[in-house]
C-alpha cells in the first residue's frame, strides 16, 4: 500500500473513534445531568461492585486503544519500509535551503525532480543545525541531523508540483527554507538529469 493511504487511514480511523467517543460521552453526560438533577433525584443511590460492567469498561477501551495502535503502527511501517527498487537522492539541510544530490553528482537547490511512477528514497542529513524535511503531500517528515543520516521515502504516483518545507525552527530565515518537488514523466526526468538545468 502507498504510505499516503496508510497514514490517512490511521488519521481518519483515530479521528472517527474520537468523534464517536466525544458524542457518546457528551450525550450520556447531558442525559445524566438532566435525569438525575437534584429536584428529580434528591437522594443519590449507592451502587457498589458490578463485575460485568467493570470487566466491560476495561476490556472494550483496551481493544479500541490497541486497534488504534495497530492502524498507526501499520502506517508507520509503511513509511519506514523502502521498496527495493527505489531510486535514491541525497538531501542536505542547510541554513536556509535544501540541497539535493543525484547519482550522477548533479546538485540542485530547493528543487527536487523525480520521475513519475517511481519509489524515491531520500537520504537526509544536515550540514549545520537541526532541520526537518517535510513534504505534506506525501506525509513524510523526518529530522535532518548533522553527523547522522536519516531517511524517508515516497511513491511518486501523481505528476505535479508539491511543497518541500523545513519544519524545525532552524534560525532567522527558517520560514524561507522552502523547496519544490516536481514529479515529471520519465523521459523529461532523464533529459533534466543529463542537462545543466538546475
- Does 177 contact Cu ion by CB under 5 A? yes
Least Å from the CB of residue 125 to Cu ion: 13
- Does 164 contact Cu ion by CB under 5 A? no
Decide: helix, strand or coil at residue 157. coil
Stretch that binds Cu ion, among 18-26, 33-41, 57-65, 167-175 (CB under 5 A): 167-175
69 or 169, CB closer to Cu ion? 169
Q: At what angle do helices 51-80 and 3-35 cross, to 10 degrees?
A: 160
Could you give the string, one character per residue 131-160, with x where binding to Cu ion holds by CB under 5 A and - elsewhere? x-----------------------------
Strand 87-94 versus strand 107-109 pairing type: unpaired
- Does 165 contact Cu ion by CB under 5 A? no
> Distance between CA 135 and CA 147 in Å, rounded?
22
- What is the DSSP code string of 81-117? ---TT-EEEEEEEETTEEEEE-TT--EEESEEEEETT
- Does 124 contact Cu ion by CB under 5 A? no
Residues near Cu ion, by CB under 5 A? 131, 166, 170, 177
Amino acid at each position: 500500500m502507498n504510505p499516503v493511504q496508510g497514514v490517512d487511514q490511521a488519521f481518519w480511523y483515530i479521528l472517527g473513534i474520537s468523534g464517536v467517543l466525544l458524542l457518546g460521552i457528551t450525550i450520556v453526560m447531558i442525559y445524566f445531568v438532566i435525569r438525575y438533577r437534584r429536584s428529580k433525584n434528591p437522594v443519590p443511590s449507592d451502587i457498589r461492585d458490578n463485575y460485568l460492567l467493570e470487566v466491560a469498561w476495561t476490556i472494550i477501551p483496551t481493544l479500541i486503544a490497541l486497534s488504534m495502535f495497530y492502524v498507526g503502527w501499520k502506517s508507520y511501517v509503511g513509511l519506514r519500509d523502502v521498496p527495493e527498487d527505489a531510486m535514491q537522492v541525497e538531501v542536505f539541510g542547510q541554513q536556509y535551503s535544501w540541497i539535493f544530490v543525484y547519482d550522477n553528482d548533479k546538485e540542485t537547490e530547493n528543487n527536487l525532480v523525480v520521475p513519475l511512477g517511481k519509489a524515491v528514497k531520500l537520504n537526509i542529513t544536515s550540514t549545520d543545525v537541526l532541520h526537518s524535511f517535510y513534504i505534506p503531500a506525501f506525509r513524510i517528515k523526518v529530522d535532518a541531523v548533522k553527523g547522522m543520516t536519516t531517511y524517508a521515502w515516497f511513491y511518486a504516483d501523481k505528476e505535479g508540483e508539491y511543497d518541500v518545507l523545513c519544519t524545525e525552527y532552524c534560525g532567522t530565515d527558517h520560514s524561507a527554507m522552502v523547496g519544490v518537488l516536481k514529479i515529471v514523466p520519465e523521459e523529461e526526468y532523464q533529459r533534466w538529469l543529463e542537462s545543466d538545468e538546475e
